[in-house]
Amino acid sequence: MHADPKGVLTGVHFLDGDHACCEGTLAAGARFAAGYPITPSTEVVERYASRIPTVGGIFIQMEDELAASIAIQGAVWGGAKAFTVTSGPGFSLMMEHIGYAAMTETPCVFVNVQRGGPSTGLPTLPAQADMMQARWGSHGDYGIIALCPNSPQECFDLTIQGFNLAEEFRVPVMLMLDECVGHMTEKVVIPEAGKIEVTPRRYTKLPPAEFQLFEPREDSVPDMLRAGDGYRFHVTGLTHDERGYPSMNVETQDRMVRRLQDKLKPLANGRALCETENLEDAEVVVVSYGITSRVAQRAIQLARKQGVRAGKFRIISAWPFPEQRIRELAGRVKAFVVPELNLGQMVYEVERAARGQAAVIPVTHAGGTVHNPDSILKAIVEAAR
């Protein structure tokens, strides 16, 4: 269905990533946000706080990230689309509740505008060092979806896509921005509401006597409910059966956790979101995401000028990791060069997917600023030799 025009700021704008992300949430239909101030993410909710009262919804600044990360889930079960926004230290605090959202299959969005870490780190400077944490940060076996925008325009577009995926898969979605993308100001085109596809929540059509809140459809995802409609349902973080009742035994555990991960498999395979260029004849493929992909673009151009057949694989959906695409590529390229604003995170996934069929070369950076294209170029040229 189409976006609600009340939330769509149609037009051509000059916005930074944080602000564009906020507009994305509004266009996606998010009418509830809870947050806690943390640099460099706070602008997302500050803008939301000033926009939402004339759109129709609520922003509440909670007392901490633990509260924010679960208030949004209460709001989802009350019937709203909801999100929260944070950066590294807050992301760490939210981990228990990301697990709760995954366990209870609560569709919601967590925006992490990544900054230098660990701990308080570099509050105003970029990094991409929370990528593994986005996938594995909470305890236990579960899965999430993570998207990486590389421009303010994508901060708008992928936010909408993030909400749509959350509804489709009944899963928490991480929007992994970084301080650079969040604070860079570029042209952002917001189309008319009629041109924006929004996935509505899939409320069940079955009556209360027949519906089970955790009984999956054929696509492994159950339909949704909201409080107040007479279903008298139960949601728990304990291992539960299809009714949602605690069922703490080995069989239920197996069935449940496998489905929580398996339902996301399409994104690891054919539905992975990525942007590729020059892969047909590539001997070295640069795998990157977020702000680093902008630098990588330059490095690839320079490499081509030098006669190296370099190709681009930009990861947009980082989790589930697009392993099918990487595995296919690994069979026909010499090497992957993986620059990241961290000491090596997604590069391990590339290695895993490549299964030794191609060399995998990390180009690490401790964060604080972006790569110099030369460091990536150097790695590409070395790999091609």
Partner 1 sequence: MNETTLEIPYEIPAGAHNPVEPFLRMDRMPHIWCPGCGIGTTVNCFTRALLDSKADLDKVAVVSGIGCTGRVAGYARLDSFHTTHGRAIPFATGLKLSNPELQVVVYSGDGDLFAIGGNHFIHAARRNMDLKVICVNNLTYAMTGGQTAPTTPGKVISATNPYGVFEPSFNLVALAEAAGASYVARWTTYHVKQLSRSMEEVFKKKGFCFIEVLSPCPTLYQRRNKMGDGLDAMKFYKEVSKTRHGAPTSECALTKSGEIVVGKFVDRERPDYFELLRAQMTETLGDRYVEPLREQEEDVVCSC
Binding site for partner 1 (CB under 8 A): 1-6, 29, 31-32, 34, 52-58, 60, 62-64, 66-68, 70-82, 96-97, 100, 167, 193, 198, 200-201, 226-238, 245-246
Q: Which is nearer to partner 1, 193 or 274 (CB)?
A: 193
Q: Which is nearer to partner 1, 16 or 168 (CB)?
A: 168
In 3D space, the residue among 327, 339, 355 whose CA is nearest the CA of residue 303 turns out to be 339
Q: Which is nearer to partner 1, 71 or 287 (CB)?
A: 71
Q: Which is nearer to partner 1, 65 or 349 (CB)?
A: 65
What's the rounded Cα separation, in Å, for the pair 318 and 150?
13
Q: Which is nearer to partner 1, 171 or 333 (CB)?
A: 171
CB of 310 to partner 1, least distance (A): 42
What's the rounded Cα separation, in Å, for the pair 185 and 220?
40
H-run or E-run covering 109: strand 108-116
CB of 115 to partner 1, least distance (A): 24
CB of 68 to partner 1, least distance (A): 8
Cis-peptide into 118, omega within 30 deg: yes
In 3D space, the residue among 26, 177, 188 whose CA is nearest the CA of residue 113 turns out to be 177
The DSSP letter of residue 118 is S
CB of 268 to partner 1, least distance (A): 27
* Helix segments in 105-210, DSSP class H: 131-136, 152-169, 179-183
Return the amino acid letter for 133.
Q
CB of 85 to partner 1, least distance (A): 15
Q: Which is nearer to partner 1, 59 or 319 (CB)?
A: 59
**Backbone phi, then psi, for 26, in 5-degree steps?**
-65, -40
In 3D space, the residue among 132, 130, 139 whose CA is nearest the CA of residue 112 turns out to be 130
What's the rounded Cα separation, in Å, for the pair 241 and 357?
42
CB of 106 to partner 1, least distance (A): 10
CB of 118 to partner 1, least distance (A): 24
Q: Which is nearer to partner 1, 96 or 382 (CB)?
A: 96
Q: Which residues contact 81 (CB under 8 A, 6 or more apart)?
A: 28, 29, 30, 31, 32, 107, 108, 163, 167, 201
Q: Which is nearer to partner 1, 74 or 216 (CB)?
A: 74
CB of 178 to partner 1, least distance (A): 27
In 3D space, the residue among 365, 361, 359 whose CA is nearest the CA of residue 343 turns out to be 365
How far from each other are the two terminal CA atoms of the chain, in whole angstroms?
51
